[in-house]
A and B are shown apart, each in its own frame.
Chain A
């Protein structure tokens, strides 16, 4: 069995285990390469038809190319797609790129998801995060409980030893499941290539720039790159010393830092 087969097997096992434990479950699809890989794994896990909904949290600030991609492939893959929008916050004038990043992430992503979870009574969510993506994610578990306020208490989470996942949840929590936690950015691209998966055109270089990570348009910057094929992207990542999310200038980590500086009175 080669490396990608091993990764795929483990992920499919986790997805099936999750569905077995939580019937009220959904998969988050951000339209990026990782969550599209996750959708593919879910499709494989259930022989082509995913038996639970896919949620896209729409901040109304994604790239046009992302919306086109979402609508085209949701239809082709026959996904039960739920588009989660915090209409109330939008009505109040909250906009990505206009409010400070913590508030807009909180309102348009976290609260949109909270509303969606409450409406559909989901008890578990499958997400496409990877451990190599960001320092804070090194502490994540494959089955990761969240409390009612969506808080992740990383100092008090169940151990997962020898791949014995703690998939049973307390009633008060919802559980996040991370089937791609053990994948790397290069694994994802090699899998995309092998499976001939569609990925957004924004990932491929045009006029010397490409997006390495996709988020909301006002907060996502392209990197200098001539990688216009998957092979070139893989080669570029192998030689890169810059973090994958470097282009996500206002990502959550920066927002946390900003919030803490504000608490101390820095601005």
Chain B
């Protein structure tokens, strides 16, 4: 099974531009797709943590990348993730570039993300698509893990910086092209985002200041409606913790 994360992906970009996104379009036309309307705050670190730990923010207490001026590491997050649990039960699980911390977390593999895991320049933002795709295809050419999770994190930064601009649609198009061979390689594929996006001033919650420390103006911010596209996935996600529970139950029933 493949779980592909698109950080900050929203139907508000995908639907009106579906003609330019043939791979996502094919999946949507053939399989289940729906909106995950978050009840928890749409903070990336916290939502990714909930998605893969099955814990609510009140339970995992991991709310942001930085706490008390210190960058949070895996050791600071006091939960077990789905990969920890399934790995112990003997399954082959790999997790790539999971952004509940920065640099994003990897399990059972090594990955050197662009821009120290916080890509900012356009070169770094583009490089993330290439590097994540290359790594996933490289793994799949050598083995077929029971569960492979990979996240394209830079879409979030791209959406903050370029909401409402053609460059963002181009970036979705790049991701669509990149994931084409990945989604064709497995019968079970789940694509999901941790939150959606919208115009900065319309966002129900501002996760970052409009003008950053270096003078950049942010154009977009997080929206609580996330996406899910499910190719033969035998569970549904209404809230982030459902992903963990769905994966846990599925693999514990021995349906590999």
Provide the residues of chain A in CB contact with B115, threshold 8 Å: 260
* Given A265-B208, A266-B66, also A260-B71 (CB < 8 A): no
A136 to B110, CA, bound (A): 12
Of all A-B residue pairs in the complex, the 5 with the closest CB atoms, nearest first, are A265-B212, A260-B118, A265-B208, A256-B116, A265-B209
- Interface mask (A239-267 → B, CB under 8 Å = 1, otherwise 0): 00000000001100110111011111111
B117 touching A263 by the CB < 8 A rule? no
A261 touches B66 (CB 8 A): yes
B118, A257: Cβ atoms closer than 8 Å:
yes
Chain B binding surface SS class? loop
Q: Are A265 and B116 in contact (CB under 8 A)?
A: no
* Known contacts A265-B208, A265-B212, A265-B213; A260 and B120 CB within 8 A of each other: yes
A-B contact pairs, 29 of them (CB 8 A): A100-B69, A136-B112, A138-B112, A250-B70, A254-B71, A256-B116, A257-B71, A257-B102, A257-B103, A257-B116, A257-B118, A258-B66, A258-B71, A260-B115, A260-B116, A260-B120, A261-B66, A261-B102, A262-B213, A263-B212, A263-B213, A263-B214, A264-B118, A264-B208, A265-B209, A265-B211, A265-B218, A266-B66, A267-B66
Q: Number of contacting residues on A, CB 8 A?
A: 19
Q: Which residues of B contact A263 (CB under 8 A)?
A: 120, 212-214, 216
* Interface check A135, CB cutoff 8 A: yes
Most buried by A among B66, B116, B208: B116
Chain A residues with CB under 8 Å of chain B are 100, 135-136, 138, 249-250, 253-254, 256-258, 260-267
Choose one: A138, A253, A264; the contact of B120 (CB below 8 Å). A264
List 16 other contacts, CB 8 Å, given A136-B112, A261-B102, A265-B213: A138-B112, A253-B116, A257-B117, A257-B118, A258-B66, A260-B120, A261-B66, A261-B118, A262-B213, A263-B120, A263-B216, A265-B208, A265-B209, A265-B216, A266-B208, A267-B66
Q: Across the two chains, which residue of chain A brings its CB closest to B64?
A: A266
A263 to B211, CA, bound (A): 10
CA distance A258 to B218 in the complex (A): 19
